[in-house]
Structure 1
Amino acid sequence: MRTGLRRLLIGLPVLVLLLAIAAGLGTIMPQPFLAPSPAGGEGTRRILVLSNPIHTDIAIPVDAESLARFPFLAASGVPVDDPAARWMVFGRGGRTFYLETPTWADLKPLPLLRGLTLDRAVLHVDVLGALAEPSPTVQGFDIGPAAYARLLEEIAAGFATRDGQVVPVPDVRYGQTDRFFEATGWFTALAGCNTWTARVLRAAGLRTGFWNPLPVSLAFSLKHFN
């Protein structure tokens, strides 16, 4: 018993140190290693990365292409057709933590534990009006039409389907403009919300760090590699 506890007390700081080193290296090592061709020209779209201390979202413009790609949002109660809507906002997270923790005041041990270990994944979709740029919590990027199409496809691939239809999570939402949907795959802290954001951005031709588990590391790599 004492031997096991001693090993745990020694091993835990070592594990934390190794994760910190991995996160640091993952931030300064770009993925992909070679820079893609610069985006721009006719048909350029503006996309945003929104961040808070632990989570990032991707915001795409409410336009004809995004509305056509995600027709189920309006049918599911997300007001993308509101005249004031300017941005569709997508984020991925662990099901238990995401659904049960709308604010820090709602934090409970079990959802936190599931968020740090293994859980089913969900996608959260919201709409926003005009956003101010620049901002400490907003990074903007211009991408070409082909890159924009790839980004939409990568986001769409994250929605789980049943009988060919997306699956809204019933009776759970943060407010009047958002909705949760079942997502493909599993969620872990090592491959969490911010690594999903990075993967979607790479599909659009942006470079990120090799591993970005935290918003601050993703923001740093986006700033320095693009």
Structure 2
Amino acid sequence: MPTLYLMAAIYGAIIPGSAVPDTAEKTRSILLVSGSIHYDLVLPLDDMTLERFAPLAAKGIWLDHPSAEWLVVGWGAQHFYTQTRASTDLGLYALWRGVVGDSSVLRFDIAGALPDDLDARRLALTDREYATLLDEVWGSLTTGADGLPIGTDVDGFNQTDGFFAAKGRFNILRTCNVWIGDKLRAAGLRFGIWTPMPLSVSLSFDLYQAE
């Protein structure tokens, strides 16, 4: 079974989803940053990002921090993601919930200047593609009657991040890395049709988005 899953994860990364090319100049740039468990989207805190995610400031995400340059975004299973900061924290219950299914959360954090040796992949987008990506990420949040994201009752990993309720359920077929691929394709980028593993994201990027 693990072998079949791995093979499917590779094929899913190789087969591109449909995309409508945008011929406008690619003026925006984002990063895919690989962690010990999954990939994060890392978005520049530019004018478009600050405007789209301004409501997060009311929920404790310090977007206007004087040293903030990037917004880090990750989606995942509520129990697995909030309780597993690193692979060494992985427990059987969290793993089981990740396999059979769990509600989902989005984690937001800010970052300053990034180290030169960061394991990151850079993607170039047009303004339209970037605006769509921002809308897609925001659309993954569950919001309240006030239009603000709904926070969770778990602590973040540090002093600047936070977890928020998200739409959709996490399971072994719809992982955090699948979410990454879904958002990139929805923005119009050419990317693998199913990317459940970090390997899938890396392979699909190298095939279709490497500059």
The answer to whether the superposition gives a TM-score over 0.5 is: yes
CA contact (8 A) 1:39 1:142 kept: no
Pick one of 42, 57, 60 that aligns with 1:74.
57
Structure 1 alignment gaps of length 5 or more? 1-14
Letter in structure 2 aligned against 1:111: A
Give the corresponding residue for 2:130.
Answer: 148
**How far is the alpha carbon of 1:196 from its aligned partner?**
0.4
- Aligned pair count? 208
Which SS does the other structure have where 1:60 is aligned? Answer: strand
* Candidates 117, 120, 123, aligned match of 1:138: 120
Q: 1:120 aligns with which of 89, 103, 116?
A: 103
1:35-114 residue pairs with structure 2 within 5 A?
36-38=21-23, 40-41=25-26, 44-114=27-97
**Structure 2 CA distance for aligned equivalents of residues 105 and 19 of structure 1:** 23
TM-score (norm 2): 0.91
Supply the distance in 2 between the matched residues of 1:213 and 1:136 (Cα, whole angstroms): 22
User: Over aligned residue pairs, what C-alpha RMSD do you find?
Assistant: 1.8
In structure 2, the gaps of 5 or more residues are: none
Q: How does 1:126-205 map to 2 (within 5 A)?
A: 126-132=109-115, 135=117, 137-163=119-145, 164-205=147-188
Q: Which residue of 1 aligns with 2:202?
A: 219
Deviation of 1:24 after TM superposition, in Å, equals: 2.1
Q: CA deviation at 1:81?
A: 0.6
Q: Which amino acid in structure 1 is aligned with residue 3 of structure 2?
A: L
User: What's the CA shift string for 1:117-162, capped at 9, x where partnerless?
Assistant: 10000000011112245x5620111211111110010000000022
2:104, 2:169 within 8 Å by CA — same for their partners in 1? yes
For the pair shown, which has the larger CA radius of gyration, 1 or 2? 1
For 2:164, the aligned partner's letter is F
Inter-CA distance 136–39: structure 2 relative to 1 (3 Å threshold)? farther
Q: How far 1:79 moved relative to its partner?
A: 1.5
| Secondary structure, counterpart of 2:121 in structure 1 | strand
Deviation at 1:21, TM superposition (A): 2.3
Mapped contact 2:30–2:41 kept (Cα < 8 A): yes
